[in-house]
Chains A and B, each alone.
Chain A
């Protein structure tokens, strides 16, 4: 039997040295008696002196390889206060040589036991970052850094593990955290850590009064969940938390507070409420009348509830462009991006349209761009909104707005992109292919051309086909430009109103 005595205050290197030596000497895990010096001192007398001396020397050639994950596990576990940690780590180290992937088997008994210890250390570290309470040490030196002190009682030897956290966080002040298991201090230059036990000097700090006020008043007495509080903030921490002394009284008076709250019936409103309400009472808007301008139509459309699509969409996406544009582009409906931005054709399909228009010399700022349906219709798939085709009823309801846009803008040419736009403009569902390339008349006056919707181009899986269709789409837009030059611009010298983005 080999007896190994270690300091056991969270330092991995002493265990590592011993473990290397033992492993090189092929000592089996069950033949080692691991001891912590503080405990070992007690029974030093009834122990044969020869045994303690038998720590095999480390030979430089004894190379021992372990996976990286073992080291990070060992670094945490060594901080644990259970004396069994040394033996368990050595046992795992031993097994790892034959089973290199052992750490991945989380269900293995040895691995699971060490993981539990690791978890306990991590939790203790986390609780230390949470429950350390600094008290200011009054100093008064002008221009001196402020000084703070904290007393904390961790379960495990974690002070050196957690100290860098406080250094990262409280860089501009001097602080010291003292615990029975070691001390950490920062002076702006260097982080000092020691593992020797400290005493609690019991300081006080005025600001704790404010903190206690906050703690008492952020508490909602109507929802008492004491068990929940105690699992997260166990009683063992309470003695060093300035707010904890309030807890028993807060629990005891909670019910009475709720009853008092219920009994105190609602009282009359304060004076300023009455004044506010009076001021807010603006003359009631006259009943909504039919809009007389495009701007009015746009405003009314913002509150549109003609069909249920408004329930799930963010906002109405009305058309935009010059009010006297010669060409009106009509798409299907706003997509995800359009719905968020409140503007038509700003998403992926909008970019396809913009590029094609630019390529054929169609100036987007001179055309009026809109959609047959003004709200985004979608279906949730996981966390994504997937476009859904509007049905004929929705198209019919929204026709009201498209017709107003046509009436006010009076375009000479309407370019209908996609079947939904065609259905809205003609009132019938028709095949795109039958109409494409023709110049049609529509009942609101002017002519209409038909092409595909740019999102159709995005959906084509085959690249070659996509390029082909894109070229056709461009040709259609080029046709619109030609129509514009031949039929509109020479005869109608209309002033250029430029970009009227609203």
Chain B
């Protein structure tokens, strides 16, 4: 008997939950005032709900089908898994997206799929869904499509006309790891399709001869995901791979997904608790690289085994390992150095820079900029404050480490 829509929705959202990305930001601003249709994107994303796993629910994140020809060990939908299978029709995905959207449950659609028949067939069906939404239903909300590996460049090009974002997952930080766990996937082809997409995005962003208006093509760029903890790669390798991906293909985001046990798991993988703190530290390091002017090497070079410190955030760990660079004078030093002070974020730094043009700043002023004085005080000089030998104290690290907790009984 055919499963009901509700049953299939359960199966196909279960199948999609291991993809971490749910961003609905970074696209162009558009709305339905002129078109009289439905949907808008406001530039920044909106998270419409949060699940108890702490992840935001911004998009309807589902698979078109979880039947798959590939047998990737880490994936819940691999062909050798006995997980229940289901498939949505094109019309059903369109209907669900629009009905959820009209009730303000979601910002749009994040559609992925298992590979059925062929890469091109699968991609074509996904493009059809996006086309129906955009053209037939005048939908202006956010659409994120997963590119199917090895799909034809023409299909990717069409997908890019409808989608805000395209992504293709690199899955594992090393080629060797991917070859081992995902025998049907080819790391070289994944990189090549990222390269092709970057060229197309760049070509579309150049004004054409006929018109100054730029073509709308994947306005929110491309992203990817890496699974953390399924293979033995250390954080330095992972971050190195990210840096290369950012540099080579202009990715907007690299998502890190702590490998989490899946139902009917493959025997080749660890069935452990997902390394959530490690995932968190990787995101922090990623931010340092993208917004704080840190190099990947700097972040990991003094860390034993190339692993980030789980107890301290990477910026604090870097500061403790490079104490000769401190204290930083918040009334005089440059932005680059202020950004390296543990406890000062980009907004606080902007506040410091704009305030200090008019007056000299004291610790209390920092508190009003929502800065934790306890955290920054060892690293800065302010009006009426010097850390004296605080930065040189050997127990400085212990002052920041989380208090020991009694272990859980099981």
Tell me, in angstroms, the Cα distance from A262 to B249 when the chains sit together: 38
A229 and B104 within 8 A (CB):
no
Interface members, chain A 131-160 (any B CB < 8 Å): 131-136, 146, 148, 150
Closest residue of A by beta carbon distance from B348: A106
The answer to whether A209 and B54 touch (CB under 8 A), given A104-B354, A150-B104, A266-B265, is no
Is B6 in the interface zone, CB < 8 Å from A?
A: yes
Selected from B42, B102, B263, the residue in CB contact (under 8 A) with A261 is B263
Contact A169 B32 (CB under 8 A): yes
Q: Does B52 lie within 8 Å of A262, measured CB to CB?
A: no
Pairwise interchain contact B369-A112, C-beta atoms closer than 8 A:
yes
Report the minimal beta-carbon distance from A107 to chain B, rounded to whole angstroms: 3
Q: How far is the CA of A250 from the CA of B49 in the complex (A)?
A: 14
Pair A168/B32 contact, Cβ less than 8 Å: yes
Are B52 and A261 neighbours in the complex by a CB distance under 8 Å? no
Which residue on chain A has the smallest CB distance to residue B362?
A107
Residue of B nearest to A225 (CB): B54
Alpha-carbon separation in the docked complex, A169 to B357 (Å): 41
Inter-chain contacts of A135 with B (CB < 8 A): 103
Contacting residues, chain B, for A340 (C-beta < 8 A): 195-196, 198-199, 248-249
Quick check: is B271 within 8 A (CB to CB) of the other chain? yes
B-chain residues with CB within 8 Å of residue A218 when the two chains form the complex: 13-14, 16-17, 51, 57, 61
The interface-forming segment of B217-225, B254-262, B337-345 is B254-262
A383 CA to B276 CA, complexed, in Å: 27
Nearest A residue to B276, CB-CB: A223
Note all chain B residues with C-beta closer than 8 A to A241.
49
Set of chain A residues within 8 Å of B243, measured between Cβ atoms: 380
Q: Does B60 contact A (CB under 8 A)?
A: yes
CA A90 to CA B336, docked complex, whole Å: 37
A359 close to chain B: CB less than 8 A: no
- From 364 to 415 in chain A, residues with beta carbon under 8 angstroms from any chain B beta carbon are 380, 382-385
Chain B interface size, as a band, is: 35 or more
In chain A, what residue has the closest Cβ to B42? A165
Contacting residues of chain B (155-175) with chain A, CB-CB under 8 angstroms: 175
Residues in chain B near residue A288, CB distance under 8 A: none
Bound complex: CA of A213 vs CA of B100, how far in Å?
12
Residues of A within 8 A of B71 (CB): 273, 276-277
Chain B, range 8-25, C-beta contacts under 8 Å to A? 9-11, 13-14, 16-18
- Is B316 interfacial (CB-CB < 8 Å)? no
Please give, as numbers and ranges, the residues of chain B lying within 8 Å of A38 by CB-CB distance. Answer: none
The distance in angstroms between the C-alpha atoms of A247 and B57, with both chains bound, is: 14
**Residues of A close to B194: CB separation below 8 A:** 314
With A241-B49, A340-B196 known as contacts, the answer to whether A168 contacts B103 (CB < 8 A) is: no
- The distance in angstroms between the C-alpha atoms of A407 and B290, with both chains bound, is 47
* Contact present for A169 and B79 (CB under 8 Å): no
Q: Please report the C-alpha to C-alpha distance between residue A225 and residue B280 in the assembled complex, in whole angstroms.
A: 12
A169 to B36, CA, bound (A): 9
Instruction: State whether B368 touches A107 (Cβ < 8 A).
Output: yes
* Contact yes or no, A225 B52, CB < 8 A: yes
Q: Which residue of B lies closest to A346 (CB)?
A: B199
Given A217-B17, A232-B56, also A104-B357 (CB < 8 A): yes
Separation of A210 and B4 alpha carbons in the complex (Å): 11
Bits for B101-132, please: 1 = Cβ < 8 Å to A, else 0. 01111000000000000000000000000000
Interface 1/0 per residue, A215-252 and B, CB below 8 Å? 11111111111111100110000000101000100110
**Residue contact B96 to A210, C-beta cutoff 8 Å:** yes
Verify A169–B40 contact, CB threshold 8 A. yes
- Give CA–CA (A304, B361) in the complex, Å: 59
Chain-B contact segment, one of A170-178, A416-424, A477-485? A170-178
> Told that A107-B365, A219-B52 touch, could you supply 20 new A-B pairs with CB distance under 8 A?
A101-B358, A108-B355, A148-B102, A169-B31, A170-B102, A171-B31, A210-B5, A210-B6, A222-B261, A226-B54, A267-B82, A270-B79, A277-B71, A314-B188, A314-B192, A315-B191, A339-B248, A341-B196, A380-B296, A383-B247
A sample of 9 cross-chain residue pairs with beta-carbon separation below 8 angstroms, ordered by A number, consists of A209-B6, A210-B99, A218-B51, A223-B53, A225-B52, A272-B79, A315-B195, A380-B296, A383-B246
